[in-house]
Amino acid sequence: MRRFRWLASLALLTACQSSSSDFQLGPTDANVAGQFTLVSINSNPLPVSALVTTAESWDLASDTLSITADGKWAETTVYVVTQASDGSTSTRSTGVNGTYTIADQKINFMQTGGTATFTGSVRGSSLTLLYNGGHFFYVRT
């Protein structure tokens, strides 16, 4: 269920934001290991609306991606969920992980137990990911 929420939210999130299909990644640095915090999606700063239903709305409040030198990554996303019935809010988080390889000067991410794949590039203190037609900009923390 967590993986589905992550994928559904990311898919809806990128669909709702202005797409940047012509956005190009630069070549990645050799050292990609580190912890990165999401700053913007398609140049829109956080928080951003991720999912809206008749019952609730999910705003993506924060996202942290950790990349290790041994070819693994893990991501934690925090959402603020607002109930349509009474306006009450709660915080929910999801986590996913996987492996990566570096080829053709890009980082190729694969999700464990899922079908999600995406590419990225670390340049200095920033990480840019391309996923589902959107670009996600992170800074090293």
Q: What is the pLDDT of residue 14?
A: 47
Q: Is 72 left (phi over 0), alpha (psi -120 to 50) or beta?
A: beta
Domain span at residue 117 reads 2-140
Q: What is the pLDDT of residue 133?
A: 86
Domains in the chain: how many in total? 1
pLDDT in tens, 104-133: 999 999 999 988 899 999 999 999 999 988
In the predicted model, what is the mean pLDDT of residues 67-87?
98
Kindly report which listed range (53-57, 93-97, 102-106, 114-118) carries the lowest average pLDDT score.
114-118
Q: What is the pLDDT of residue 21?
A: 54
For residue 20, what is the domain's CATH number?
2.40.128.280
Tokens of 112: 């464990």
- Write b or e for each residue in 95-126: b if 16 or more Cβ atoms lie within 10 A of its Cβ, otherwise e: ebebebebeeebbebebeeeebebbbbbeeee
The rounded mean pLDDT for the chain is 88
pLDDT in tens, 16-50: 444 445 678 999 999 999 999 999 999 999 999 99
